[in-house]
Amino acid sequence: MPPFRRHGIRWSPVPGAGWPRSWRRVFRAPPGDRAVARRSPRVHTPSTPFPESVRHFVNTSTSALVRRVAGAGLRQITSPVDQCKERFLDQIRIFLKCFRCATVPSRASLGRSCSIRRQGIHEGGSTVSGTGPESLCAALVEQFRRTPDARAVCDDRQVLTYRELDVRSAALAEALVAAGVGPDRIVALQMERSVDLAVAIVAVVRAGGAWLPLSTTDPDRRILALLRDAAPAAVVAEESSRLWSLADGGVPRLTPRAHAGPGQAPPIDSAAPHHLAYVLYTSGSTGRPKGVMIEHAAIVNRLRWMQDRFGIGPGDVVAQKTPYTFDVSVWEFIWPLMTGAELAFAAPDGHRDPGYLARFLTERRVTVTHFVPSMLTEFLRRVRPGDCPRLRSVMVSGEALGPSLARRFFERLPHAELHNLYGPTEAAVDVTHWQCAADASPTAPVPIGHPITGIELLVVGEDGTEVPEGQVGELCIAGVGIARGYLNLPEITAERFVPHPADPTRRMYRTGDLASRRPDGAYLYHGRNDRQVKIGGVRIELGEVEAALQSLPCVEECVVVTRADAAGVARLHAFAVLVPGVPWSGWRDELLGILPAGSIPAGLTPVDAMPKTAHGKADVTALRAILEEQSDPSGQAAGADPLERLWAGVLGTTEPHFLRAGGTSLHAVRLLADAAEEFGRTVALADFFTEPTLDRLRALLTAADTGPGTDTVPSRIPREGELPLNRYQERLWFLQELEPESTAMSAPTAFRITGVSAERVAEGFAALVRRHEVLRTTFRSVDGEPRAVVGAQPPALEWTDGTGLTADDATVRRWVTQTAYEPFDLAAGPPLRARAVSFGPADHLLVMVTHQIIADGWTWSLLTDELSRLLTEPDPGPDDSRLQIVDHAAWQRTRETRPEHRAAVEESLRHWRTVLANTPDGLDLPVDEPRGPSLSVPADSVALRWSPDFPARLKRLCREHGITEFMALLAGYTAWLARLSGQETVVVGTPMANRTPPWTADLAGYFVTTVPQRLEIDEDATIAQVLDRARTSVVAGQRHSVVPIERIVAEVGGARTADRLPLFQNLFVFQNMPAWQRQTDGVTVRVQQFPPRHTHYDLKFEVFPLTEGYEARLVYARGRISDERAALMARQLASFVEAAVDKPDAYVDEIAL
């Protein structure tokens, strides 16, 4: 049986019958419910001609039908033939049966699968509403039944579907129940991050027990103490793990894979809402860790809120990278598996390596992930353009989020959302939420946000009563989310979980955190009222560390303080009065047998006597002063080799063993990043940690330099004679050679500069050109091949006195026009013209016109940043060691000889041959004149006008559909072209920044590669389906962009004529480069770029998402397309895109032009 359309049942009309287009679809889900049909499985039906007597059917299927699949109504307008009627109704029954078996998304209008909200959970209020599953087990098992064949969980070795996860977890759960596990019984786990860990956690939940994660790196002494305290009913671990041998012989021990056969799982209601879900141990101020007991009601409330707020489902991928002893891991484990999303495990220890994480999030197409702010800082240093294209939501918690970090996040990942969460372990992960804004104040503190559903917050004073709005007090938490208490610690439980001041029958948790409430109801964090600290997002009680130190025979008295080291990382430092005559050099190794590695002080300073305050307490201020007075260890390395200086600068000591120097994973990340910048050689974090010493790092750096096939930072090539171009520059050179009189590749740009003298502008311009060789490079033909010759002198800057002129947009455009519209002779001199106009003593216009062969969009951001610095800081002079684009060209040719590169090219060529097979020669767009004889034609542009709230609506659409703004606008533009041309196959070119490898980020020049995007826009496609196709095309295009467009054209073929480019004649340019504006010390540099006078394309849709108002313009081939038609097209395109954003479930042919 031929397939139904994905949106429902479609009757094929009788060929030639001339039925109206609106009659071709007899059954359509109502507009608000089409997303459900879009998510449904494909259904098959015979293609049966409709009898003449059947004019049409009016579909009156109710919303309840599609949302709940409860029933349907179909009203017949004219009497059809009975046999046809029965056949039709039978097909409707098949259709509805498929709906009953499919995932029913919660947000029907947006197609997001939401298994929890489907049950009636609603956001808002301080109590839980809805009739959904009350335990984790019920929520998980229901999802297993809904999407049995979907991918559920994966690591770097294996993938499990929901059916396979169901079978394996049921078998292990049955074994756990047989071992005595049930409600309120604890199961200890000790496993590495893997698919098996997911099986174990789900099995414990299904057995009705509570999981207790034990770190694989904790010392035996600590593990034994936790086992004695928790008294687990069973343990699940690998036989090779330490837990297997440390567990008491009477405790049943199971492995996650020893029970892989089908089992009879316990009932889904084996645990009630008041039973324990998990136990996590946190640091204790008395030296004894505290086991926090969280019940099902608390964590289910938290996950319900998260799903209702973020709405993930099939197609989403959630990263599991948080250590499972940290409570954030709970939602990473459970949330995706109860909503039909995919849980993707990072490699063990992968969470410590930001370079690995950037690759992991990109390759696994992760849409949701979490960071602590300190690791997010390092991660953003390693993110490259194009990384993490599907990343939609990033959650941060564990440490205070600063406004500068939030701002840097949006600069590096402008397509993603940033959410600040707060919550102690004692309150089911998180209790507040704040969505950060890209345009937030760079100095205002980032709030921890508003309370989530089911949570009440109070800010109380020392007397326990609430303080007024704006006043700082202790933050207390009430509601369904708080923990039962601490395991086996009733006194501490009673101290921290106290009666609610308004209702003594209710409890609230005293967090010890200081907070205040703003007038808008959001809360601000102000630190702690005790000695609890957080290092790398991990909660540490200083009292526990001091108790461990005090247990050492060499320590008589001690105090532990925190300090920020030279790298800006928070660290612990101990001061101790030592016992005379007792050796103390091994104190660190002794502590490693007691405390987790993250709780070990970075250093220990002996003191003769502990300084005291007037009240007899340790004088922390005096101790910190001792640290300040100690000599700077980095100074001791001043005369040493560069690696030793880096080592001392990051660690604050010359101790050659990284861990003994108090190094953490964040220190390692910083050290290796600094080493890569200093030496141009990359060392993997995992390789360094195998033997973390200074000598070993030196050896690894040496090996990295000589290792075969590594993409290390290259050396500078000699500058004598004629030099190569990179492949992307070569393409532009050949195009210019074809049409020497064309200005299609000119880039007219104006720098508006205020707050500085004309002399400084002239000096800054000259210094800028000296710094970047490409700005003084000539391009000549040698035996028909392009070669670059670097000149020594910058071009002259011509000044004009513009005093008395109005420096408005018209004046700026006039000066640009006078400078811009003459073609460049690439062989006669550098393709750069510069002219300056002085409107006043501190108000200037610097016009720079370049050929694109020396400057792409990224380069203009780079030049803006450097010019701003040169105008306010002394010129450091030329750097002869700095890499330039000619070095990239030489590196590129060397890389092309490597076998792995050739294999990647062949794989990509196979992809493009498949994707671009049978593409049309072009689009039949409505034009006013036929195409002329030249490739380059006169061009003009017209601005698009968006509604004021369009950017917010676009971002909301992208969030709900798991796509970037680039993907969404590409889909809208392509669908509009399909409607305009009447063609179903549309190919659009999309330039990509292509700044890989990372060291190219600081190079001026042209690196852009153009990637063809082929989308099929059939008559029955919905906007949402086009969005999905755009996402698939973009991700595949980025993966296979290793092949330049000229090579793709040579392989695929196409209509090569003198008047047009092959494959596509329409371009989509998304200029999401860093903002072209800088303001420093009263000096402002603002950039405005103008379209060239000529174009190679019929239409070019350019969007500038980082500008105010989301600027966009349509560049058109003037002559072929009249000004009037271009203005109409711009209005149509803006209207079409906005309608598509608002109605993603509409059919493409329903969007009005």
What digits encode the pLDDT tens for the residues 1072-1098? 765 566 777 788 888 877 777 778 889
**Are 1094 and 951 in contact, with CB atoms under 8 Å apart?**
no
Write down the pLDDT at residue 261: 58
Q: How confident is the model at residue 93 (pLDDT cuts 50, 70, 90)?
A: very low
**Are 1059 and 933 in contact, with CB atoms under 8 Å apart?**
yes
Least confident of 246-250, 603-607, 839-843: 246-250
DSSP state string for 409-450: HHHH-TTSEEEEEE--GGGSS-SEEEE--TTS-SSSPPP-BE
DSSP state string for 236-270: EE-TTSHHHHHS-TTS-EE-TTTT-S---PPPTTS
- Whose tokens are 């290792």? That residue is 707
Partners of 689 in the β-ladder: none
Has residue 113 got a pLDDT over 60?
Answer: no
Task: State which fold the 890-1080+1088-1150 domain adopts.
Answer: Chloramphenicol Acetyltransferase (3.30.559)
- Whose tokens are 């004021």? That residue is 948
Question: Residue type for 683, please?
Answer: V
Has residue 229 got a pLDDT over 90?
Answer: yes
In whole angstroms, give the CA distance from residue 413 to residue 371: 14
Write down the pLDDT at residue 400: 85
Write down the pLDDT at residue 36: 34
Task: State which fold the 727-883 domain adopts.
Answer: Chloramphenicol Acetyltransferase (3.30.559)
Write down the pLDDT at residue 114: 30
Has residue 620 got a pLDDT over 50?
Answer: yes
* Mean pLDDT, the chain, whole residue set: 80
**Dihedral sign (CA 437, 441, 443, 448):** negative
How many helices and strands, by DSSP H and E, does the chain display? Answer: 33, 43
- Whose tokens are 């050949």? That residue is 734
Question: Residue type for 481, please?
Answer: G
Q: What angle do CA 731, 863, 1006 make, to 5 degrees?
A: 10
Write down the pLDDT at residue 118: 25
- Which residue has better confidence, 715 or 659? 715
Is the CATH number of domain 533-603 3.40.309.10? Answer: no
CB atoms inside a 10 Å sphere around CB 657: 14
Nearest residue to 921 (alpha-carbon basis) of 1052, 1108, 775, 1020: 1052
Has residue 1065 got a pLDDT over 80?
Answer: yes
Has residue 405 got a pLDDT over 50?
Answer: yes
In whole angstroms, give the CA distance from residue 669 to residue 310: 31
Domain ranges of the chain: 21-101, 533-603, 635-706, 727-883, 890-1080+1088-1150
Q: What angle do CA 327, 330, 334 make, to 5 degrees?
A: 170
Q: List pLDDT tens digits, range 157-187.
A: 889 999 999 999 999 999 999 999 999 999 9
**Are 523 and 517 in contact, with CB atoms under 8 Å apart?**
yes
Over range 97-125, report the average pLDDT.
Answer: 31
On the 0-12 / 13-18 / 19+ scale of CB atoms within 10 A, 492 is middle
CB atoms inside a 10 Å sphere around CB 855: 24
**Are 618 and 610 in contact, with CB atoms under 8 Å apart?**
yes
Has residue 99 got a pLDDT over 70?
Answer: no
Q: How confident is the model at residue 245 (pLDDT cuts 50, 70, 90)?
A: confident
Write down the pLDDT at residue 57: 32
Q: How confident is the model at residue 117 (pLDDT cuts 50, 70, 90)?
A: very low
Q: How confident is the model at residue 1132 (pLDDT cuts 50, 70, 90)?
A: very high
Write down the pLDDT at residue 78: 34
Q: How confident is the model at residue 741 (pLDDT cuts 50, 70, 90)?
A: confident
User: Could you give the percent of the chain with pLDDT greater than 70?
Assistant: 83
* Cα Rg of the chain (Å, integer): 33
Over range 1036-1056, report the average pLDDT.
Answer: 78
Give the highest mean pLDDT range of 8-22, 830-844, 861-875.
830-844
Q: How confident is the model at residue 263 (pLDDT cuts 50, 70, 90)?
A: low
Q: Which two tokens stand for residue 292?
A: 């926090």
pTM of full prediction above 0.75: no
Q: In CATH terms, are 727-883 and 890-1080+1088-1150 the same topology?
A: yes
Write down the pLDDT at residue 956: 87
DSSP H helical ranges for 774-856? 809-820
CATH of domain 635-706: 1.10.1200.10
Instruction: Tell which phi-psi region holds residue 793, choosing left (phi > 0), alpha (psi between -120 and 50) or beta.
Output: beta
Q: Which two tokens stand for residue 753?
A: 């500069």
Write down the pLDDT at residue 21: 33
In whole angstroms, give the CA distance from residue 823 to residue 850: 10
On the 0-12 / 13-18 / 19+ scale of CB atoms within 10 A, 614 is exposed
Least confident of 472-476, 663-667, 1038-1042: 663-667
